[in-house]
Structure 1
Amino acid sequence: MQKSSIIFLERKFPSANMILIKDQFPMLIDTGFGSEVKETERFIKEAGVSPEELQLIVNTHYHSDHVGGNFYLQKQYGTQIAAHKWDADLINACDPEACSAEWLDQPVEPYRVDRKLSDNDEIHTGSRTLKVLHTPGHTLGHISLYEPEEEVLICGDLFHRNDIGWINNFREGVASIQRSLESLDRLSKLPIGRAYSGHGPQIENPLAAINAARNRFEKWLTSPEKVSWHACKRIFSFTLIIKNGLAKEEMDHYLLQCGWFQDFARYSFLVQPEEFIQILLDEMIRSGAASWHNNRLIAATSYQASNEEWLNKNMKPRDWKPHYFLA
């Protein structure tokens, strides 16, 4: 048998990064965005693992860029899926709040969680054991995974090399920053040689990244407007990515039907949603998060445009039906 290895797959938006544990019982951590599932499958094969051999998919949390490939891999290969028990209950009940997909307007095809995870659970891949660490903040059911032999941390969207996961007070609770700080404090006590997050490159100096994340969260405790701007720009940029931009003439109608936009306008910035449209657009341009190209607003970050046919499915948990889960 080949030596076990941890393979990090850095991906462009709209997909999150993936980590493949190549071992006696191969395991994939996160599956990217739904429209990129063929690329997800190709990455697995190129790493020397047949998709049929995958024993388990573990999701760090249930956002669309992390769970989008679940449907295909579970239906095509019968791959088991594991997630934190709080995520699992929402997903398996086809709850409209699952994945925050409705509120974010992000399509997610249906899947079932086969294994519910709790804090301090262990996942065995043959020669390795990964410890499940409940690290809420970015979402309530967010988990990290720690492999002690190589001192590897897989931290999802809790923190990145030069950024932190956006905070969703409206769906994850007003104490999300405090939860994030507690999660960071817990991780900082581990011996970590390298870390992999949901976006961006490998984190070479994890403790420095944790300290930087902690400092930023602590500043946010006294600057709630910064929390909201960070979230709005991340959410709207992701919308522009998956839609490959938005035309100026469709902007007002689109934004006004989004739950996230309504909530941030009314409750974070205390303005009417109609007023917030231009405020948000001005900030996207000012900050360099997006720019106009032939009357179409395009995200500034590097990304891979989604397939229009796939986006037209517009699948949300409210549409999920039990027959989707049948082989």
Structure 2
Amino acid sequence: MKKSDIIFFERKFPSANMVLIKDQLPILIDSGFGSEAAETERLMKGTGVSPEELHLIVNTHYHSDHVGGNYHLQKKYGVQIAAHKWEADLINIGDSEACAAEWLDQPIEPYRVDRKLSDNDEIHTGSSTLKVLHTPGHTLGHISLYEPEEEILICGDLFHKQDIGWLNIFREGVASIQRSIESLDRLSKLRIGQAYSGHGPKIENPLAAIDAARGRMEKWLSTPEKISWHACKRIFSFTLMIKNGLVKEEIDNYLLTCGWFQDFARHSFQLQPEEFIPILLDEMIRSGAAGWHNNRLIATAPYEAPQEEWMHKNIKPKDWNYNVLSPN
């Protein structure tokens, strides 16, 4: 970007990466996990941008690792938030399906979407313009942001440098893989010099990464069980991160309370949930997604354990009280 700076923050789980557009109208793209709100604020201040200067937070989609900091920044500083209109509507009425938080068992504190985005909308930062591209698949309201002059793409969880976002066939539809492929095809026609995704490092060769992601998804079309395995391992790994592991004796009872686990067991693998527990645990160990440490199952990906209070939070959209959002 010619007159504005793009500052990329590659963050450890449970937070997603963030992008800060430093310009006359500073824009923050995604806000991390709720337990990391203080760190989100610290990272911004380290660039010389104070939270109260933010013109807008733009969410690529509404999963907890991307929107968790919204509550803190909106309540404390009155920052406005933008998201795709389909997700915005669910958020603003506190729908129990919002953020898939109930189904995933992920805590998210309340926030409101002030600006509802549609495909081809433009977001002005002062000296640059970001184009909103509706790129559904990972979620139905997933968006990417494109700056054509500098050929920069911010692609959320549609694809990563060496991976793709997991697909939620039970909340986003069984056609989510076809939607993802169509979204990738759309992006492949753009001139992209570099891309920033929701997880992992900056993508230096975006078109090669898009081709790899598309190839993987095409293989999944004939082996749909791989879609489910990919999702189960990522969902359960994230759970282990936000809970800083689970003691062996509590795993069975915990999994049996989870909507995602029930759905994948019964409908993807045609098993009773009780039968699926040892199979999932074996696959978590075999694949290296988790390991046992002192009778506790721990995620192997690098992560920052949330504070103790966050390990016991159970805030979901059905519990949201929007009155708490008035700035101090």
Asked whether the two chains share a fold, i.e. TM above 0.5, the reply is: yes
**1:168: which partner in 2?**
168
**1:125: which partner in 2?**
125
Q: Which secondary structure does the structure 1 equivalent of 2:270 belong to?
A: coil
Does residue 100 of the first structure (1) align with residue 93 of the second (2)? no
In structure 2, what is the Cα distance between the partners aligned to 1:241 and 1:218? Answer: 30
**1:4: which partner in 2?**
4
How far did 1:127 drift? 0.2
Question: Does the 8 Å contact 2:78/2:326 carry over to 1?
Answer: no
**2:134: which partner in 1?**
134
How far did 1:4 drift? 1.5
**1:198: which partner in 2?**
198
Calculate percent identity across the aligned residue pairs.
79
**1:318: which partner in 2?**
318
Q: Which secondary structure does the structure 2 equivalent of 1:323 belong to?
A: helix
1:1-327 to 2 correspondences below 5 Å:
3-327=3-327
Question: Does the 8 Å contact 2:194/2:206 carry over to 1?
Answer: yes
In structure 2, what is the Cα distance between the partners aligned to 1:174 and 1:308? Answer: 37
- Letter aligned with residue 135 of structure 1: T
In structure 2, what is the Cα distance between the partners aligned to 1:4 and 1:216? Answer: 35
How far did 1:324 drift? 2.5
Q: Which TM-score applies when normalising by structure 2?
A: 0.98
Q: Which TM-score applies when normalising by structure 1?
A: 0.99
Question: Does the 8 Å contact 2:3/2:127 carry over to 1?
Answer: no
Question: Does the 8 Å contact 1:15/1:32 carry over to 2?
Answer: yes
In structure 2, what is the Cα distance between the partners aligned to 1:246 and 1:164? Answer: 26
How far did 1:48 drift? 1.2
- Letter aligned with residue 133 of structure 1: L
In structure 1, what is the Cα distance between the partners aligned to 2:95 and 2:243? Answer: 25
Question: Does the 8 Å contact 2:245/2:296 carry over to 1?
Answer: yes
How far did 1:322 drift? 3.0
Question: Does the 8 Å contact 1:160/1:203 carry over to 2?
Answer: yes
In structure 2, what is the Cα distance between the partners aligned to 1:118 and 1:272? Answer: 41
In structure 2, what is the Cα distance between the partners aligned to 1:193 and 1:286? Answer: 37
In structure 1, what is the Cα distance between the partners aligned to 2:21 and 2:322? Answer: 31
Question: Does the 8 Å contact 1:161/1:201 carry over to 2?
Answer: yes
- Please list every run of at least 4 consecutive aligned residues from structure 1 whose deviation after the TM superposition is greater than 2 angstroms: 310-313, 324-327
In structure 1, what is the Cα distance between the partners aligned to 2:196 and 2:164? Answer: 13
In structure 2, what is the Cα distance between the partners aligned to 1:164 and 1:308? Answer: 31
Q: Which secondary structure does the structure 2 equivalent of 1:83 belong to?
A: strand
- Letter aligned with residue 63 of structure 2: H
How far did 1:3 drift? 4.4
Q: How many residues align?
A: 326
CA RMSD of aligned residues (A): 0.9
In structure 2, what is the Cα distance between the partners aligned to 1:301 and 1:278? Answer: 21
In structure 1, what is the Cα distance between the partners aligned to 2:288 and 2:4? Answer: 42
How far did 1:112 drift? 0.1
Question: Does the 8 Å contact 2:17/2:197 carry over to 1?
Answer: yes
Question: Does the 8 Å contact 1:133/1:145 carry over to 2?
Answer: yes
Question: Does the 8 Å contact 1:74/1:80 carry over to 2?
Answer: yes
- Which consecutive residues of structure 2, in runs of 5 or more, have no partner in the other structure? none
In structure 2, what is the Cα distance between the partners aligned to 1:189 and 1:206? Answer: 11
Residues 58-87 of structure 1, C-alpha deviation per residue, up to 9 Å, x if partnerless?
Answer: 000000000000000000000000000000
In structure 1, what is the Cα distance between the partners aligned to 2:308 and 2:97? Answer: 24
In structure 1, what is the Cα distance between the partners aligned to 2:82 and 2:51? Answer: 16
Question: Does the 8 Å contact 1:25/1:55 carry over to 2?
Answer: yes
Question: Does the 8 Å contact 1:107/1:311 carry over to 2?
Answer: no
- Letter aligned with residue 20 of structure 2: L
- Letter aligned with residue 16 of structure 1: A
Question: Does the 8 Å contact 2:111/2:322 carry over to 1?
Answer: no
- Letter aligned with residue 161 of structure 2: R
Residues 158-179 of structure 1, C-alpha deviation per residue, up to 9 Å, x if partnerless?
Answer: 0000000000000000100000
- Letter aligned with residue 215 of structure 1: G
